[in-house]
Structure 1
Amino acid sequence: MNAQKRLEIFTRLRAENPEPRTELYWTTPFELLIAVLLSAQATDVGVNKATAKLYPVANTPESILALGVEGLKEYIKTIGLYNTKAENVIKTCRMLIELHDSEIPQTREALEALPGVGRKTANVVLNTAFGQPTMAVDTHIFRVSNRTRIAPGKNVLEVEHKLMRHVPKEFLVDAHHWLILHGRYTCVARKPRCGSCVIEDLCEYKDKVDL
């Protein structure tokens, strides 16, 4: 795919959704970090239901740590892998208090040192909370990047590096939101809704479906 096509693709995605946002509920960087930690192999809707009950009670490292692992589980037990996630969240809260004065670090290295935080989670926090031009490649972005040929790659890291290299700079901060939402609602896994896609004529997918 050439640079002109990519420019037009992101121009159209921006025109359709000028201020894209994550669908996770959050009001502080800490709330975002916890929501993203909880969202692994879970839906944003499911996470939001749990945090809607948790955050009014505990939404700081100190208050969640005070709940303890068992107390936290009561709020997140509807989310997949909640046992492991509860332990990681508690450990993360303790590290934030002890090492970072309860603030969320703004470097990938410091974020990835927190229990349960991988590269994708770190990228989401850096981008969404702090406006850094990062690319958190999830299953949606991986599929869209390969299917459209915007940034084809064999694994998420390859796709991430290609997106960082090929997405025009003016779109980098918001690009990961546009691609996630496009994959979630239009370029869906089983049968893409090509007929209602704003970039259908630019996409290089060979098996387009007129839906």
Structure 2
Amino acid sequence: MNKTKRLEILTRLRDNNPNPTTELEFSSPFELLIAVLLSAQATDVSVNKATAKLYPVANTPEAILALGVEGLKEYIKTIGLFNTKAENTIKTCQMLVDLHNSEVPEDRAALEALPGVGRKTANVVLNTAFGWPTIAVDTHIDRVSNRTKFAMGKNVVEVEKKLLKVVPAEFKVDVHHWLILHGRYICTARKPKCGACIIEDLCEFKDKTE
């Protein structure tokens, strides 16, 4: 895909949604971190339902630590992989208390050192909580990037590197949100809704639907 076409795609996505953000509900960097940690292989809707009950009771590292693993599980047991996530969340909270003054570090290496936090989660936190021009590539963004031929890669890391290379600076902070929402609601996995797509004429996917 050429530079001109990419620029038009980004411009249309921006015009359609000038102030995009995550669908995870949060009111602090810590709440965002825990929500993203819980969202692995789970829907944002399921995480929001759980955190709506959890955060009024415990929305700081100390408060979640006070719940303990078993206490935390009661709040997140409706989320997939909740046993592992409860353990990682407690360990993460302990590290935040011990190493970071109970604050979420604005540092990639420090974030990725937290249990259950990988590159994608770190990218989301740095982008959404701190405004960094990072691009967290999940299955939706990987699919949209490859299907449209906007930024092709054999895996999520390759796609991330290509996006960082081809997306102009003015779009970098928001492009993660535009692509994930596009993949979630329009360019869906089994049958993309090409007829409802605002970039259909620019997309290079061969098997477009009606």
| TM-score interval, smaller chain | over 0.9
Q: Deviations over 1:63-122 (max 9, x none)?
A: 000000000000000000000000000000000000000111111111000000000000
CA positional deviation for 1:169:
1.1
| Secondary structure at 2:130 match in 1 | coil
Q: Tell me the residue number matched to 2:187.
A: 187
| Match of residue 141 from structure 2 | 141
Aligned match of 2:202 = 202
Residue 202 of structure 1 deviates from its aligned partner by 0.5
Deviation string 1:23-61 (CA, Å, 9 cap, x unpaired) is 000000000000000000100000000000000000000
Aligned to 2:55: 55
Q: 1:33-52 to 2 correspondence within 5 Å?
A: 33-52=33-52
Supply the distance in 2 between the matched residues of 1:75 and 1:2 (Cα, whole angstroms): 48
**TM-score, normalization: structure 1?**
0.99
Q: Give the fraction of aligned pairs with identical amino acids, expressed as a percent.
A: 79
Residue type of the alignment partner of 2:202: L
Q: How does 1:5-20 map to 2 (within 5 A)?
A: 5-20=5-20
Secondary structure of 2:37's aligned partner: helix
AA partner of residue 115 (structure 1): P
Give the root-mean-square deviation of aligned CA atoms: 0.4
Task: Give secondary structure in 2 for the equivalent of 1:114.
Answer: coil
Alignment of 1:51-200 (within 5 A): 51-200=51-200
Aligned length in residues:
210
Provide the secondary structure at the position in 2 that maps to 1:195.
helix
In 2, Cα distance between equivalents of 1:52 and 1:135: 27
Question: What is the CA-CA distance between 1:126 and the residue it aligns to?
Answer: 0.2
Runs of 5+ consecutive residues of structure 1 not aligned to the other structure = none
Q: CA deviation at 1:125?
A: 0.2
1:108 partner letter: R
1-structure distance, mates of 2:60, 2:127:
20
Q: Which runs of 5+ in 2 are unaligned?
A: none
- Matches of 1:187 and 1:169 in 2, distance apart? 24
Runs ≥4 in structure 1, deviation > 6 angstroms? none
What is the distance in 1 between the residues matched to 2:125 and 2:63?
21
- Structure 1 match to 2:25: 25
Alpha-carbon deviation of 1:140? Answer: 0.1
CA distance in 2, matches of 1:166, 1:31: 31
Residue matched to 1:4: 4
3-state DSSP class of the match of 1:36?
helix
Q: Which amino acid aligns with 1:164?
A: L
C-alpha separation in 1, matches of 2:70 and 2:194 = 46
Alpha-carbon separation, structure 2, partners of 1:108 and 1:4:
32
